[in-house]
Amino acid sequence: MAEIRGLLFVPIRFLINQDEHLRQVMNPSRPDRWKSIDPQDAYDETPLLSISHPNLLELNVSNLSPEQLLLL
């Protein structure tokens, strides 16, 4: 779609360290959003989506608050 419109495509991948991921996975509000609260999920390193693109931007959000993430 970006190519058709003559726009620059920049895929973004958010990274998070395992400790922060574990903390977030155990948040009791997650099931309300159909998300897992199984701590083992924080140790699963299976990639959800493989992205290889020259414009790929990877952002480590491990140390950002939810409020800071909204500003990205």
Global confidence as pTM: 0.69
Inter-CA distances, 1 with 4, 8, 33, 50, Å? 5, 10, 29, 19
Sorted by where each begins, the domain ranges of the chain are: 13-45
Q: Is the dihedral of CA 10, 50, 66, 59 positive or negative?
A: negative
CA distance linking residue 38 with residue 62, whole number of Å: 19
pLDDT tens digit at each of 72 positions of the chain:
999 999 999 999 999 998 888 888 888 898 999 988 988 888 887 877 888 999 999 999 999 887 888 887
Return the structure tokens found at 65.
Answer: 């608050």
